[in-house]
Amino acid sequence: MTNTDAADASRPHASRPEASRPVALVTGATRGIGRAIAAELGRTHHILVGGRDADAVEAVVAELPSAEGYVADLVADLTGASLPALPERLDVLVHSAGVEDGGTIEETDAETWRQVFEVNVFAVAALTRRALPALRAAQGLVVAINSGSGFTSGAGGGVYAGSKFALRALTDALREEERPHGVRVSSIHPGRVDTDMQRALVAREGHEYDAAYTITPEMVAATVRTAVDLPPSGTVESLSVRPLHRR
């Protein structure tokens, strides 16, 4: 046995899925909403933990009963050609990776627009395109973590909301295109969620942060579970989850 084999054998978590477990790929799974979704689905699924940082990915893998890493920079190659291989069958693909940036139209430069759309829209399209054969083989489910900003926009929110409107258009089209192949598509629209990204946004807005006006990542994960557990004869096409308290 080589040193590498010995190291792999010593790991408590299998590098291959248990035969009885369906397989779910969760992007952005090393923090925030994505991490909560990986933990929730990890109770029943073999999780491909998506992220850019190998150490952060491995830390999440170590917490799950059945998991392996899917280390990739989804924006670096939007053709998808250099992305890690996917299994022949993929039961669930959760797009949770995302960024929030930008200000007013007047003050936001073209580079910021490009970066936000690359992460929130273009990378989603690239990975989905690559995953479609495996999703079709499993008659699986695509879940896009969108936002309340995917429905409405306001002053200073045009960049992020624009990307989320575009993501909603992508998922609406994908749902109809893949219906004949048995692939379901769900769009989840959380309100403000208690994450580092939300704290940074509130700071930029100049407000005092108060978690009472947010929901938790685990609440979003519970809505994803609802979509995943629905029998395949139906689909949660769109689901919104909001904080009870509003400012």
- The arithmetic mean of pLDDT across residues 125-147, rounded, is 97
Question: For the whole model, what pTM was predicted?
Answer: 0.88
3-state SS assignment for residue 46? strand
Residue 195 has pLDDT above 80, yes or no: no
pLDDT value, residue 213: 74
Judge whether 92 and 45 are in contact, CB under 8 Å: yes
For residues 238 and 187, is the Cβ–Cβ distance under 8 A? yes
User: Is it the case that residue 219 has pLDDT exceeding 60?
Assistant: yes
Q: Phi/psi class of residue 206: alpha, beta or left (left: φ > 0; alpha: ψ in -120 to 50)?
A: left
Q: In the chain, what are the domain boundaries? A: 3-241
- Phi, psi angle pair for 213, to nearest 5°: -100, 20
| Residue 53 CB neighbours (<10 A) | 12
Q: Which residues of 217-240 are buried (b: 16+ CB within 10 A; e: fewer)?
A: bebbbebbeebbeeeeeebbebbe
Q: Counting Cβ atoms within 10 Å, is residue 125 exposed (0-12), middle (13-18) or buried (19+)? A: middle
Ranking 8-12, 141-145, 167-171, 235-239 by mean pLDDT, the lowest is 8-12
The answer to whether residue 111 scores a pLDDT higher than 70 is yes
Identify any residues that bridge with 51 across adjacent strands, giving them in sequence order.
Answer: 71
What is d(CA 188, CA 35) in angstroms, rounded to the nearest whole number? 16
Instruction: Give residue for tokens 């909603």.
Output: 168
Cα–Cα distance measured from residue 151 to residue 148, given in angstroms and rounded to the nearest whole number: 6
> Which CATH number is associated with domain 3-241?
3.40.50.720
The mean pLDDT value for 82-107 works out to 95
Q: Look at residue 14 in the predicted model and tell me its pLDDT.
A: 45
Please state the separation of Cα 237 from the chain's center in Å.
Answer: 16
Q: If you write DSSP's letter for every residue of 110-133 in order, what string do you get?
A: HHHHHHHHIIIIIHHHHHHHHHHH
Per the annotation, the verdict on 213 as an active-site residue is no
Q: Where are the alpha helices (DSSP H) in the chain?
A: 3-10, 32-41, 54-61, 110-117, 123-138, 158-178, 196-205, 217-229
Say which DSSP state 215 is in: B
Catalytic residue among 70, 160, 209, 213: 160
